[in-house]
Amino acid sequence: MTRPYEDTHTPRILRALEDGSSSVRLRAALAVGTAPDPRAVGTLVERCAVEPEFQVREMLTWALTRHAAAATVPRLLDELRSERAQARSQALHTLSKIGDPTAWPALTRALLTDADDEVARSAWRAAVVLVPEGGKPALAGVLASQLGRGGRETQLSLSRALIALGEAMLPVLHTAMSDAVPHVRRHAIATERLLRDPDAGFEFAIEEAKRIVALGADGREDGQEG
């Protein structure tokens, strides 16, 4: 069983989260997670919004998951309204790791379609973890509205999120495979290929989708016009 810090240790370790050395900040975040203290939650959340190093952000998230959801989730939900994109993105990422279903109502369409790709990607990942079974079709519809968005990493994140929804996403995916917009159609076809053959890889799937769209096949293997 973990124990809280001694009173004299908490301020020192929390100050270390702002140290100029990323290795010091990493060790501080590890220390907070190793011995959870509810007094540290606010500082951890605040640091997530501004921490420049990926590895340190991941350790901050881990440290937050080591605390009680009752202490962390409300603070993270507040961050979803932040004007700072990193604050929203990291809060969503942490909520996905905590997995508390009470956070689901906060994953609004605005977050799922956020103009910032990193925020949107984090929202997609969190949504497929937190969505109740009955909410999957509606979520699939919102996610499908983002098909064709962004570069390869963004598109791959969206494809993975749609695939994670299972059968609930098939109707909207099949509709998108005949979309009038070529890049939406390509992304939908690539997602369907990835669903059928996960080992093929996204690059192969997107290149095959480009070929299919160029031939006007609308995703059918026989290459016939639809």
- Give the pLDDT score at 206: 66
- Give the pLDDT score at 201: 67
- Give the pLDDT score at 4: 47
| Neighbouring C-alpha atoms within 13 Å toward the C-beta of 75 | 24
- Give the pLDDT score at 13: 87
- Give the pLDDT score at 225: 36
The answer to whether the CB of 22 falls within 8 A of the CB of 37 is no
- Give the pLDDT score at 192: 92
Chunk the chain into consecutive blocks of 10 residues (it has 226) and report each block's average pLDDT, rounded to whole numbers: 50 90 96 92 97 97 97 98 98 98 97 98 98 97 97 94 96 95 93 84 66 59 38
Output the furthest CA–CA distance in the chain (Å, rounded).
73
DSSP 200: G
- Give the pLDDT score at 10: 75
- Give the pLDDT score at 8: 44
Q: Which amino acid is at 151?
A: G
Whole-angstrom CA distances from 143 to 32, 42, 218 are 36, 31, 20
- Give the pLDDT score at 209: 66
